[in-house]
Amino acid sequence: MRIVIVGAGAVGSYLAERLAYEGQDVVVIEADPQRARELQESVDCLVITANGASIKALEDARVADAQLMIAVTSSDAVNILASQVAERLGVPKRVARVQDPTLREDLEAHGVNVVIDPVESLAKELLLLVLRGGASEVVEFAGGKINLFGGYVHAGSLLDGITLRELRGRVTGWEWIVGAVVRNGDTFIARGDSKIEVGDHVLIMANGNAAHEALQLMGVDEHKAKKVFILGSTRLAILTAENLVRAGISTVLVDIEADGCDELSAKYDRLVIVKGDPTDINVLKSEGIDTADIVIGATGWDEVNLLGCLVAKALGAETTVARFSRIEYASLLAGNGIDAGVSTRLAAANEILRHIRRGHIYSVATFQDTTAEAIEFEVGEESEAIGRTLRDIGLPKSAIVGGIVRGDQAFIPHGTTEIQAGDRLIAIALPEAIPSVEKLFA
């Protein structure tokens, strides 16, 4: 598929890297010469230095031959203009990042097929992490009927040092499956003879009401957050704060530039605004950071989020979650003061990849330290898998089906589970297996 990406910021560059790695025909248009040069040197794609909203730039990128145009610059106006031009030049699908809610009305008339807002999506993701305190990832599928829980295996947990086949005989009473394991930067799809080790990052599929059991399996203590600190006053910080107080969670927002948040504080009784340096030990101490159940680093700077979370952890905060642009930070620091990492780059990828994958795709989830994807899709009426069991369909070893939604039922499948037309499957797959999964079920 030929894909034109307008904007090589954190989101655009990540998408270019991921899609080029998959073998997609990627062209990126970036106005900043230095940023364009850096991307060209690191990613196997064509990079054009120009304004992505200009007709000439899009023509130079042969956008008329593209099946998809993704506009993800920091400017809503540029993204909308690029979509308008792309529509006139015949691009069938145009995805635009639009953060201003007032601009989202009638965007179809302005050439935008799909609107994404990774910051808004990430704020919802942070709410799920807070509500399921202790997990490194929480992804809901089929409206929460099937959930994916990510976490790091603790010493003494039920998973520690045992094969999954042995564990299956010991852990009963609820349905679960370990889908994937990340160990020392390498990912493998879990099988019955897979042995889990302390420190492994595991992705567990379970029914939506089994969060406590899934975390307990990893040795993670689930704790209900009553008080959350948010470091920063970015749009992500503000949206997250609003989500938390609406959920009944007391929230403290700390930032030296929090002057514009006074009106927000007056609106919510459970929200306290502190104007101070989010990395200052004295500021955090005086506000009672040691009483925080979760601290979220949500500034626009990786270094500030990192330092603020490490200071909070040292002062007694139970759990820390940091926003990163450089995703490698998240995997490097997991378990060393940072309990979970989140990224707008991943949030954007999750929204966009479902428009690239073949078939009827409901959602896609990507992760901070692995190229694996969790894909929720519908089994097509002409799928060769219909009427056959999971054991017999020839699924690649680098993919696994972790959940099925059939009508009003949601369940964790077994090898003897027979596939039916219209089933909604949640598969976890490594990049090399995705084309086979698409072909098998689409």
Regarding predicted confidence, which is higher, 162 or 208?
162
Q: How confident is the model at residue 333 (pLDDT cuts 50, 70, 90)?
A: low
Which of the two residues, 83 and 357, has the higher pLDDT score?
83
Q: Decide if 340 is inside a domain.
A: no
pLDDT at 336 over 70: no
Find the helix or strand (DSSP H, E) in which 229 lies: strand 227-231
pLDDT tens for 309-325 read: 999 999 999 889 999 88
**What amino acid occupies position 214?**
A
Q: Which of 193, 218, 243 is the last residue of a domain?
A: 218
Q: 18 and 91 share a domain?
A: yes
Average pLDDT over residues 139-157: 91
Residue 249 sits in a domain whose CATH number is: 3.40.50.720
What's the pLDDT score for residue 360? Answer: 84
Q: Is residue 381 part of a domain?
A: yes
pLDDT at position 202 is 94
Please check whether residue 138 lies inside any domain of the structure. no
Same domain, yes or no: 99 and 69? yes
Mention every residue, 6+ apart, whose C-beta is less than 8 A from residue 183: 197, 199, 200, 201
Distance, CA of 179 to CA of 194 (rounded, Å): 11
Based on the fold, state whether residues 60 and 76 are members of the same structural domain.
yes
Which of 116, 131, 158 is where one domain is finished? Answer: 116
What does DSSP say about strands 93-97 and 25-30: parallel, antiparallel, or unpaired? unpaired
The answer on 211 and 283 residing in a single domain is no
The mean pLDDT value for 282-304 works out to 94
pLDDT band at 173 (very low <50, low <70, confident <90, very high): confident
Amino acid (1-letter code) at residue 322: A
In this structure, are 208 and 154 located in the same domain?
yes
If asked whether residues 292 and 207 sit together in one domain, one would say no
Mind listing the pLDDT tens digit for each residue in 79-124? 999 999 999 999 999 999 998 888 877 777 778 888 999 999 999 9
| Same-domain pairing of 110 and 8 | yes
Q: Using CA atoms, how far apart are residues 226 and 210, in angstroms rounded to an integer?
A: 21
Model pLDDT for residues 199-237, shown as the tens digit of each residue: 899 999 998 888 889 989 998 877 778 999 999 999 999
Domain that holds residue 383: 348-441
Q: How many domains does the chain have?
A: 4
Say if residues 31 and 51 touch (Cβ distance below 8 Å): yes
Report the CATH number at residue 186: 3.30.70.1450
Give the number of C-alpha atoms closer than 13 A to the C-alpha of residue 91, restricted to the C-beta side: 30
Q: Which residue has the tokens 């994958």?
A: 357
pLDDT band for position 21 (cuts 50, 70, 90): confident
Q: Are residues 110 and 159 both part of a single domain? A: no
pLDDT digits (tens, 9 = 90+) for 240-249: 999 999 999 9
Tell me: the pLDDT tens digits for 47-63? 999 999 999 999 999 99
* Assigned domain for 300 exists: yes
Indicate whether 128 belongs to any domain.
no
* Residue the block writes with tokens 């099937």: 146
Element (H, E) at 12: helix 10-21
The two structure tokens encoding residue 179 = 């889908």
Given its phi and psi angles, is residue 125 left (phi above 0), alpha (psi -120 to 50 degrees) or beta?
Answer: alpha
Is 201 inside a domain boundary? yes
Residues 180 and 238 both lie in one domain: no
pTM: 0.83
CA 57 to CA 80: how far, in whole Å?
15
Q: List the beta bridge partners of residue 116.
A: 97
Asked if 11 and 107 sit in the same domain, the reply is yes
Q: Which class for 352: exposed (0-12), middle (13-18), buried (19 or more C-beta within 10 A)?
A: buried
Task: Judge whether residue 332 has pLDDT over 70.
Answer: no
Domain-embedded: residue 362? yes
Q: Considering the domain boundaries, does residue 262 fall inside one?
A: yes
Q: What share of the chain has pLDDT > 90, as a percent?
A: 66
The helix/strand/coil state of 208 is coil
- Phi first, then psi: what are they for 22, rounded to 5°? -80, -10
51 shares a domain with 101: yes
Task: Name the pairing type of β-strands 176-183 and 360-367.
Answer: unpaired
Q: Is residue 372 within 8 Å of residue 402, measured between CB atoms?
A: no
197/21 Cα distance (integer angstroms): 29
pLDDT class of 18 with cuts at 50, 70, 90: confident
pLDDT-above-70 percentage for the chain: 98
Whole-number pLDDT of residue 330: 61
Give yes or no: residues 198 and 266 share one domain. no
Q: So what's the pLDDT on residue 101? A: 84
Strands (E), 255-386: 271-274, 294-297, 319-323, 340-342, 360-367, 370-378
Two tokens, residue 166: 């042995």
Mean pLDDT of the chain: 91
pLDDT per position as a tens digit, 364-416: 999 888 889 999 999 999 899 999 999 999 899 999 999 999 998 999 999 99
